Structure 1
Amino acid sequence: MASPEPQHAAETEPTGATEVFAKDGVRLAVDGATATVTLTNPAKRNAQSPALWRALAEAGRALPGSVRVVVLSGEGKSFSAGLDRQAFTPEGFDGEPSFLDMARGEDAELDATIAEYQEAFTWWRRSDLVTIAAVQGHAIGAGFQLALACDLRIVADDVQFAMRETSLGLVPDLTGTHPLVSLVGYARALEICATGRFVHAEEAERVGLANLVVPGAELDAAARDLAAALLAAPRDAVIETKALLQGAVHRSYEDQRTAERAAQGRRLRDLAGLGE
């Protein structure tokens, strides 16, 4: 018997969610402390473009201050198959510089263009948010990097991660290299990127790319359950804990001890009503 198809994200957004905007293949909806960002072009397997990246960056800026958890998902059978192939044509996208145009430009202009694209991938690690990628089917190239941009990843059992940029003569440049190395280590990250091979669900969970693997039909419910569990703890305690863990890789053992003491001091004073 064939396994059930993953449900579309649009079918499983919280009932009380309010749509903030929907444009260029991205929809943002907010339900209290939880926001849902959905990629909404399943006909093209949620392929990405500069317009989509600007919409993702706008979603980050549009989040109300009440939001604590953001769930990222993609409609249809694939989370995101990566960069739209139109980017590799001489014409590129309407109103956008093609790759050839970018290559011919000044260094500063090229750098600024790529930096603008990266903004879609950076806000997911803000210290005041916990972000969850709910990933099914293909998550290739830019799609893989978008999943890596989130703090946590729940994946369907049909997931296929791949970093194909190197095989195209490029490099992963949408902020994915840092979290990939942090999660799986340098040697495995190099092998995954240089070969462009697929990483399937079992391996993704085993090496730390996925926090949880579930059947495709249960993906959205699992993401909602995790979001609810994250909201159960006091917001400031989660913010302080996330900041401690994010900084741990860059600090010495003694510096981390110092950071823990300072953070705990702030929490104790806040709980005692003595915070600023």
Structure 2
Amino acid sequence: MTLLDKDGVRLAVDGAVATVTLSNPAKRNVQSPALWRALTEAGRIVPGDVRVVVLRAEGKSFSAGLDRQAFTPEGIDGELSFVDLARGSDETVDETIAGFQEAFTWWRRPDLISIAAVQGHAIGAGFQLALAADVRVCADDVQFAMRETSLGLVPDLAGTHPLVQLLGYSRALEICATGRFVHAAEAERTGLANLVVPAAELDGAVGDLSAALLEAPRDAVVETKALLQGASGRSYDEQRAAERAAQTRRLRDLVGAGE
């Protein structure tokens, strides 16, 4: 069932799995504020019984990043030019970018597990969108690159935090500052990709992983995800306390369910 199809984004739901597809392969799924608004809307209308969200893209490239026309004086049709945005107040720029970031943040909600199926180029905003997901399954032709710094900018679409978490500060800095490509072998070796498969097997691998993620009871998965998400911000003893609290809830729910 298709719930959304606009501005290069399509949302379809099949039982407990929702699929968000970037659907502008002719332009290598370049991104724009309209696409970000559509991604944000997709997150808001995902049905409550969905447990897994797959993020995929049509064509040979996952996403070639931001549409460069946004940086021209005329901008993208119907959108504020980034040239004009730069002339706004600090508050206006901050509020505008915060709105863009919403498209990249909902993927990590505790009640969902998100999988990015990434093939070909994932550059700049495309790299950050792949990083927005909990898990990345990549084709063997994948090419990640964070090009913002090379253009005199910074990655500002919520990608820096997961990148450092995945790769560590030193490697994340080197990748961002050089803008170089990270290919499939390095992505898998460093943990940027959870799994790398031949391009023809990408959809099948994502389908298998989605099915495996649905095997465990939902509440147990939600509690486990929340525990893992908060672990880096807690001390060892705080994390042990969080584990005890979560397990108490699970035990009581299980006993209650059996009565």
Asked if TM exceeds 0.5, the reply is yes
Post-superposition CA distance 1:85-122 (Å, at most 9, x none) = 11121111122111111111111111010000000000
Q: Which residue of 2 aligns with 1:14?
A: none
- Measure the CA separation in 2 of the matches of 1:140 and 1:87: 16
Q: CA deviation at 1:274?
A: 6.9
Which amino acid is 1:74 matched to?
A
Give the structure 2 partner of residue 217 of structure 1.
200
Give 1:172's aligned residue.
155
Aligned partners of 2:216, 2:155: CA distance in 1, in Å?
A: 35
Using the TM superposition, give the Cα deviation of residue 134 of structure 1 relative to its aligned residue in structure 2, in angstroms: 0.2
Show the counterpart of 1:110: 93
SS at match of 1:61: helix
Q: Show the counterpart of 1:132.
A: 115
Q: Aligned partner of 1:208: which letter?
A: G
The answer to whether residue 62 in structure 2 is matched with residue 79 in structure 1 is yes
Mean CA deviation greater in 138-147 or 87-96: 87-96
Pairing 1:39–2:47 present = no
* Per-residue deviation, 1:242: 0.2
Q: Deviations over 1:43-100 (max 9, x none)?
A: 0000000000000000000100010000000000000000011112111112211111
Please give the TM-score of this superposition, normalised by the length of structure 1. Answer: 0.92
What is the aligned partner in structure 1 of residue 71 from structure 2? 88
Give, as a single letter, the amino acid of the residue that structure 1 aligns with 2:74.
E
Note the alpha carbon deviations across 1:164-220, whole angstroms, 9 max, x for none. Answer: 000000000000000000000000000000000000000001111000000000000
Find out whether 1:152 has 2:131 as its counterpart.
no
**Displaced runs of 4 or more, over 4 A:** none
Distance across 2 between alignment mates of 1:123 and 1:106: 27
Helix, strand or coil at the partner of 1:131 = strand
Per the alignment, in what secondary structure is the counterpart of residue 210 of structure 1? coil
**Residue of structure 2 in register with 1:51 after alignment:** 34
In 1, the alpha carbon distance for the partners of 2:111 and 2:67 equals: 31
For residues 175 and 208 of structure 1, what CA distance do their matches in structure 2 show? 18
1:235 match: 218
Residue by residue over 1:221-275, the C-alpha shift from the partner in whole angstroms, topping out at 9 and shown as x without a partner, is: 1001100000000000000000000000000000000000000000000000179
CA distance in 2, matches of 1:192, 1:214: 23
TM-score in terms of structure 2 length: 0.99
The within-5 A match list for 1:237-276 is 237-273=220-256
Q: Cα gap change, 1:274/1:19 in structure 2, threshold over 3 Å: closer, same or farther?
A: closer
In 2, the alpha carbon distance for the partners of 1:171 and 1:195 equals 12
Distance, in Å, in 2 between the alignment partners of 1:207 and 1:274 is 41
Using the aligned pairs only, state the percent identity: 79
Whichever residue aligns with residue 225 of structure 2, its letter is: K
Give the aligned length. 258
After the TM superposition, which residues 16-31 of structure 1 pair with which residues of structure 2 at under 5 Å, given as runs? Answer: 18-31=1-14
Q: Distance in 2 between matches of 1:38 and 1:94?
A: 23
1:187 and 2:170 are equivalent in the alignment: yes
CA RMSD of aligned residues (A): 0.9
Give the equivalent residue in structure 2 for 1:202: 185
Find the residue that maps to 2:73 and give its secondary structure.
Answer: coil
Match of 1:272, SS state, is helix
Residue in 2 aligned with 1:4? none
